[in-house]
Amino acid sequence: MASKASAVWTGSLKEGKGTMSTATGVLNNANYSFATRFEGANSGTTPEEMIAAAHASCYSMALGAVLGGSGLTPEKIETTAAVTLAKVGDGFAVTRIALTTTAKVPGASKEVFDKAAADAKVGCPISKLFANNTEIVLDATLE
C-alpha cells in the first residue's frame, strides 16, 4: 500500500508559498510557507506538523495493537507528538520527537501498560522511520 500526497511551491524560499494536498482529499491545498515553518506564523501548516500528526496517530494505533495482543482493549488512547526542527550544520533536521500519550485501558496493570507503551514506540512504523537519526522520547500515562 502506498499513501500519496503532493506539494506545490512557487517563488523564493522566504517570499514564496506552497500548498500540500493528500490523495484522499483530507488536506486540499493546505497552505505552507517560510513564515509558518520558521517564524511561527499560524496561517498554514508545516511538514513537521504533518510528521507530528502521522507519528501521533501511528503510535496510538501501534499501542492499541500491542495492548490487543495482551488481551486488553483500550477504551481511549490520546497521543500528541511534538516534532523539533533544528539547525544542524549547514541545514536543518528533525532532531527530536516527543510523544505524550494517555490511555484508559480497563484491566491493565501499570507494568503491562508501560511495557506495551515502550514496545509500541519501537514497533510503530513512523518511529522506525526516524529510529536511527532522531531522538524519540515517550511519556506514557495509564489513567
Residues 92-142 have pLDDT tens digits of 999 999 999 999 999 999 999 999 999 999 999 999 999 999 999 999 999
Number of structural domains found in the chain: 2
- Strand ranges for the chain from DSSP E: 5-10, 17-22, 30-32, 76-88, 91-104, 135-142
The whole-number pLDDT of residue 1 equals 86
Confidence band (pLDDT; 50, 70, 90) for 30?
very high
**Helix, strand or coil, per DSSP, at residue 127:** helix
Sheet of 91-104: strand order equals 76-88, 91-104, 135-142
Domain that holds residue 96: 47-142
Residues 32 and 81 in one domain: no
Give yes or no: residues 75 and 136 share one domain. Answer: yes
State residue 40's pLDDT score: 86
Same domain, 15 and 78: no
Segments in 22-109 forming alpha helices (H) = 34-38, 47-69
| pLDDT value of residue 19 | 96
Distance between CA 18 and CA 28 in Å, rounded?
A: 12
Asked if 98 and 61 sit in the same domain, the reply is yes
pLDDT > 90: what percent of the chain? 95
Q: What are phi and psi of 38, to 5 degrees?
A: -120, -10
State whether 135 and 103 are in the same domain: yes
